[in-house]
Amino acid sequence: MVAEKGKITWLSYLITDVHLHTARALEIMRHMEGLGYSNTMIATSSAKNMSRTDKNKHLILIPIRYKSVISSILFAVAVFFYLPIHLVFSRPNYVIVSADVSVFGTIPYALLEKIFKTKFILDIRSTPVDTPGLAGSFRKLVFHLSVLIARSLFSGLTIITPLMKDQLCSSYKIDQNEMGVWTSGVSPDSFSPEKHVIAGNELKRKFGLEDKFVVFYHGYLSASRGITTTVEAIRLLRKKNPDIVLFLLGSPTYSELEELLHKEDLNENVILHPPIAHEEVPRFVSFGDVCIVPLPDIPRWRFQSPLKLLEYLAMEKVVIVSNIPAHSEVIGTETCGIYLQSVSPSKISESIEYAYSNKHRLAEWGKSGRVMVQKNHTWERSARNLETYLNSIKTVSK
180 and 206 together in one domain: no
24: in domain: yes
Q: What is the extent of the structural domain holding 90?
A: 6-185+378-392
Q: CB of 97 within 8 A of CB of 86?
A: no
141: in domain: yes
336 and 260 together in one domain: yes
398: in domain: no
385 and 351 together in one domain: no
Give the amino acid at 388: T
pLDDT range class, residue 54, cuts 50, 70, 90: very low
Q: Which residues contact 389 (CB under 8 A, 6 or more apart)?
A: 156, 158, 180, 181, 182
Q: Which of 129-138, 184-193, 276-285, 338-347 has the lowest mean pLDDT?
A: 129-138
The CATH number of residue 329's host domain is 3.40.50.2000
DSSP per-residue codes, 350-391: HHHHHHHHTTTTHHHHHHHHHHHHHHH-BHHHHHHHHHHHHH
Cβ neighbours, 10 Å, residue 89:
7
75 and 168 together in one domain: yes
249: in domain: yes
> Given a cut of 70, is residue 334 above it in pLDDT?
yes
- Beta strand 319-322 with 290-293 is parallel
222 and 143 together in one domain: no
95 and 203 together in one domain: no
What is the C-alpha separation between 181 and 226, in angstroms, rounded? 27
What is the C-alpha separation between 5 and 32, in angstroms, rounded? 10
173 and 204 together in one domain: no
Burial of 267 (0-12, 13-18, 19+ CB in 10 A): exposed
119 and 207 together in one domain: no
Q: Which residues contact 191 (CB under 8 A, 6 or more apart)?
A: 282, 285, 311, 314, 315
> Given a cut of 90, is residue 88 above it in pLDDT?
yes
Q: CB of 186 within 8 A of CB of 311?
A: yes
What is the side-by-side strand order in the sheet with 58-63?
58-63, 37-45, 6-15, 94-98, 119-124, 156-159, 179-181
82 and 16 together in one domain: yes
165 and 78 together in one domain: yes
How many residues appear in the chain? 398
pLDDT range class, residue 292, cuts 50, 70, 90: very high
Q: CB of 161 within 8 A of CB of 303?
A: yes
pLDDT at residue number 22: 75
pLDDT range class, residue 313, cuts 50, 70, 90: very high
Q: Which residues contact 396 (CB under 8 A, 6 or more apart)?
A: 113, 114, 155
What is the C-alpha separation between 36 and 252, in angstroms, rounded? 40
145 and 219 together in one domain: no
pLDDT at residue number 17: 61
What is the C-alpha separation between 176 and 162, in angstroms, rounded? 10
> For 207-297, where are the alpha helices, taking DSSP H only?
227-237, 255-263, 281-286
1: in domain: no
End-to-end Cα spacing for the chain: 36
Q: CB of 314 within 8 A of CB of 191?
A: yes
299 and 220 together in one domain: yes
Q: Which residues contact 268 (CB under 8 A, 6 or more apart)?
A: 245
Q: Which residues contact 194 (CB under 8 A, 6 or more apart)?
A: none
How many domains does the chain contain in total?
2
Give the amino acid at 99: A
pLDDT at residue number 134: 81
Q: Which residues contact 202 (CB under 8 A, 6 or more apart)?
A: none
3-state percent helix, strand, coil for the chain, nearest multiple of 5: 50, 20, 35
121: in domain: yes
> Given a cut of 90, is residue 311 above it in pLDDT?
yes
Phi, then psi, of 288 in degrees rounded to 5: -75, 140
pLDDT range class, residue 49, cuts 50, 70, 90: very low
pLDDT digits (tens, 9 = 90+) for 167-198: 999 999 999 999 999 999 999 999 999 999 99
Q: Which residues contact 132 (CB under 8 A, 6 or more apart)?
A: none
